[in-house]
Amino acid sequence: MSVNIMIADDHSMIREGLRNLLEIDGDVKVIAEAGDGDECLEKLKAEKPDVLLLDINMPNKNGLDVLKIIRKEKMNVKVLILTIHNEIEYLMSAVEIGIDGYILKDSESSVLKKAIFTINNGDTFIQPSLTPMLNSRMVRKESDKIKIESLTKREFDVLKLLAQGLFNKEIASTLNISERTVKNHVSNIFKKIGVADRTQAAVFAIRNNLIGVF
């Protein structure tokens, strides 16, 4: 029994090339195509493919926006991100939203086929060359989580304001505490999150999306 595939990519030549490549052996059937995010969501509901090959860069909702909606609405489809992006930030975002697979467009056809059948069988498939970066980032993410949890609520508030570029005097005024108390908090924050200065602390806060947390 063949796997029913839908391809979502804003380049028609890429969609055509993928269709020709995937349908050669008869074990994969492309039942729908979409050139943007809105069309992708509409056709997903109408065609109900087994696997969606999803590009990240698309108009009218990019691939990650589409993925969020798929997960929010609990659509019954396996999602394989097929993209040019090998940056860990894109992969981490996709993993956090919830993907079944993630491979690069320069992968060999055998890798693409393997990814499709792997996720269709209920397992996950991540581009092998990206796995070390993902593992490293996941370890750091868990380490950062432990560091964040070690902060008191006041230290957490000070860190957020520090990351927004406020000086100690401004932080003190905002939180209605003394400047000396702010200095003590900043010193404790540096020790707990393992940084040496305000710039590194700000980078830590931004990396962990703390600035918008209230």
C-alpha to C-alpha distances, 37 to 15, 40, 69, 88, nearest whole angstrom: 14, 5, 10, 22
* Bridge partners for 102 per DSSP: 81, 126
Q: Binning pLDDT at 50, 70 and 90, where does residue 214 land?
A: very low
Q: Which helix (H) or strand (E) holds 99?
A: none
pTM: 0.67
Identify whether the C-beta of residue 71 lies closer than 8 Å to the C-beta of residue 97: yes
Q: What is the pLDDT at residue 89?
A: 80
Count of other CB atoms within 10 angstroms of residue 126: 21
Count of other CB atoms within 10 angstroms of residue 178: 11
Reading phi first (left if > 0) and then psi (alpha if -120 to 50, else beta), residue 165 is in left
The domain made up of 150-207 is a member of CATH 1.20.1290.10: no
Architecture per CATH, 3-128: 3-Layer(aba) Sandwich (3.40)
Domain-by-domain residue ranges, the chain? 3-128, 150-207
Q: Binning pLDDT at 50, 70 and 90, where does residue 212 land?
A: low
Count of other CB atoms within 10 angstroms of residue 166: 18
31-51: average pLDDT: 95
